[in-house]
Homo-oligomer: A and B are copies of this chain.
């Protein structure tokens, strides 16, 4: 993550992962989730916070979920069911349940199919936010499988290349692949220049926007560094056409096709805007053994990832990293030291504790 997205030192409050997990489970249970679903939902958020991906942890997301449960925009006890199925594919009706606990079940089904046949893919329609995609894509790793997750829907935030209207959500992708001794490859990105949650995080900590991160209300890319304007559209990654924004746009469109159209909902920009965040998802598990010897694959992944890690850096840089390495390092640090939250986040937990009559202790 870029420096600017880190919580400033003076605003940090450290909380152990166990205490924050416990608090989060209490909150999800109070929202009506079953104990098992609450534990799973909390695990997705804690995995984000441990990996240093606080944009997708409890800081931003939990209050949104609580509000949506309050507004009855999420079903706390969804009846998730298969609407179509083959040997290696399935489509699930998410029954308006939170993707945090619905999508792991979809991925487990994909893994089960991949175990039998070599590959499995599952779409989910009529679902809600899934949190950090990497969580879901990492589930196949321990089965010696490669994982893929992508997700789309409302609300819209991204303008396509040359467009003056928002037509996509942040339409993220995450791929994960196992290694033997190296930290696994885990690549999780928005197809926007910057994740929507990171913009909200930056607003909280007062970080400036870079040129070509967002367009103004008409769609013209803002090419000066500065504060986030009141009315804006996020650009596809690349920013401008010259710098390849058509690539971000294309991956966003592909995500839309797999997540909302293949799952049978139709494109996100035609979905109703109430309830917020109607989402569709696509997950896939690829069994390495269907193509090559998994032991050789993991050795080759070690050679690949250590090769990248040991690449000579360009002048002014300490090292080259690969996707998943800094996150794995962060997990070790945060398990030891606790997770640094913005004090404003701790204040929210205290207020929601009082409001909902909960009992957790964070500090």
Contacts and interface: CB of A to CB of B under 8 A. Distances in A.
A339 interface: no
A4 to B, nearest CB: 10
Contacts of A311: 160, 163-165, 167
12 contacts: A86-B117, A118-B121, A123-B292, A146-B257, A146-B262, A160-B311, A187-B250, A215-B314, A219-B314, A219-B315, A239-B243, A270-B307
Interface in A205-219: 210, 212, 215, 218-219
Interface string A234-276: 0001110111101111110110111001111011011000000
A84 interface: yes
Contact of A292 (B215, B218, B263): B263
B160 A304 contact: no
Nearest to A317: B162
Interface residues of A, number: 88
A136 interface: no
Nearest to A212: B243
A121 B248 CA distance: 25
A332 to B, nearest CB: 21
Interface stretch (A44-52, A87-95, A97-105): A87-95
B87 A187 contact: no
Contact of A297 (B242, B250, B261): B261
A246 B119 CA distance: 28
A315 B320 CA distance: 39
A87 B312 CA distance: 42
A16 interface: no
A145 to B, nearest CB: 11
A36 interface: no
A301 interface: yes
B290 A264 contact: no
Nearest to A148: B254
Nearest to A316: B220
A352 interface: no
A123 B300 CA distance: 16
B119 A121 contact: yes
A2 interface: yes
Contact of A269 (B247, B307, B313): B307
A159 interface: yes
Contacts of A159: 314
Contact of A163 (B253, B286, B320): B320
A121 to B, nearest CB: 6
Contact of A307 (B167, B239, B308, B319): B167
Interface in A191-239: 193, 210, 212, 215, 218-220, 237-239
A323 interface: yes
A237 B248 CA distance: 9
A91 B118 CA distance: 12
Contacts of A248: 244, 247
Given A2-B242, A167-B307, A262-B286, 17 more contacts: A87-B88, A87-B118, A88-B117, A89-B287, A146-B257, A163-B311, A167-B308, A177-B257, A177-B261, A185-B257, A187-B253, A210-B243, A218-B315, A219-B312, A220-B314, A253-B304, A267-B303
Contacts of A355: none
A71 interface: no
